[in-house]
Structure 1
Amino acid sequence: MKRKPQAPAPKHRSAKFWPVMGFATIAGMRSMSAPAFLSHYFSRQPHAGLERSPLRFLQKPVTAQILKALAAGEMVMDKLPTTPNRTAPPVLLGRLLSGALVGAAWYKSRHGSALSGGVLGGLAAVAATFVSYALRTGISQQTDTPIALVGVGEDALVVGGGAALLRGVQPAHGEWRPL
């Protein structure tokens, strides 16, 4: 008996999934950068899906500014020798929560399940944490480059990746509303 080919996933599903994977990957690399990029986006293109949600604070310009300052501070703190390892439980928890926040907010903005988006974002952020840690330490060891210098390259990847992600995401059709 032949099976019928499955229809491709609806476009709206990928419009939720892939951006969350991008934001969560950034959260795994720099925990404050992902919410900063997402809040920047939402503060300029508010979504009706967040209107009555507790996550609506991400659409406020002041939130975006505070998160950007925290993200910049994190990039500086990351280079200090006293900064704990990103895979240490409290730091890893912060990255998981950051990924969960961006995942929940993105899914909710697209009228999806905040819980589903949060779980996806949190898990992807944890995975990205371990992958980025392995890459950073591996590059440093293999090339005898100071770990802080490799971290500067990682910062550039986060900023460039976040900017590219924001250029690639579009408002949900008919969802933009002025504040």
Structure 2
Amino acid sequence: MFILVLAFLIGIVAGLRALTAPAAVSWAARLGLLPLQGTALAFLSYAATPYIFTLLAIGELINDKLPKTPSRKVPPQFITRIITGAFSGAAVGAARQSLAIGLVGGAVGAVAGTLGGAAVRTKLADVFGRDLPAALLEDAVAIILAIVVVARLG
């Protein structure tokens, strides 16, 4: 049950920031907090993998603030978040021989994070009178939640 909760939470991270979740699980695997040796996801612990995902996640954090960035709810963005949430959740589950449970939990979390994150960000942007503070707050929530999930893996 605990694995399902962690997979759901890492899925929420993916719903907020699609590439932060795989970066977090990759770092967890590399640091030995997420034992993926002998699984199809063992590549997450390879030396270069967390750095690659981290660079992609930083690029996403920057891109998210640009005025031409499409809504996370359009199909390509939404589908990407579900995929990265499912993938990250699967990694959490695979470490405990529950890949399918993790995959489903991550996907469901990604849907919740995508829709919930969009709604909260819209309300916060209205409160702040502009989007940037809301976007930065959302970045912080995604990163902190990813760290909390990864810390619970160890």
Into which bin does the TM-score normalised by the smaller protein fall?
over 0.9
Q: Does the 8 A contact of 1:32 with 1:67 survive in 2?
A: yes
Query: What RMSD in Å do the two structures reach over aligned CA positions?
Result: 1.5
Name the structure, 1 or 2, with higher relative contact order (CA <8 Å, separation 6+). Answer: 2
Q: Which has the larger radius of gyration?
A: 1
Q: Does the 8 A contact of 1:35 with 1:102 survive in 2?
A: yes
Structure 2 unmatched ranges of 5 or more: none
Q: With the length of structure 1 as denominator, give the TM-score of the two structures.
A: 0.81
Aligned-pair distance for 1:55? 1.0
Match of 2:62 in 1: 76
Match of 2:149 in 1: 165
Aligned-pair distance for 1:79? 0.3
Aligned-pair distance for 1:116? 2.6
Q: With the length of structure 2 as denominator, give the TM-score of the two structures.
A: 0.93
1:107–1:69 distance in 2 versus 1, CA, 3 Å: same
Equivalent residue in structure 2 for 1:88, among 69, 74, 77:
74
1:56–1:147 distance in 2 versus 1, CA, 3 Å: same
Match of 1:110 in 2: 96
Match of 1:133 in 2: 118
Aligned-pair distance for 1:160? 1.9
Is 1:34 the counterpart of 2:18? The answer is no
1:161–1:116 distance in 2 versus 1, CA, 3 Å: closer
Structure 1 unmatched ranges of 5 or more: 1-12, 171-179
List 4+ stretches of structure 1 deviating above 4 A.
Answer: none
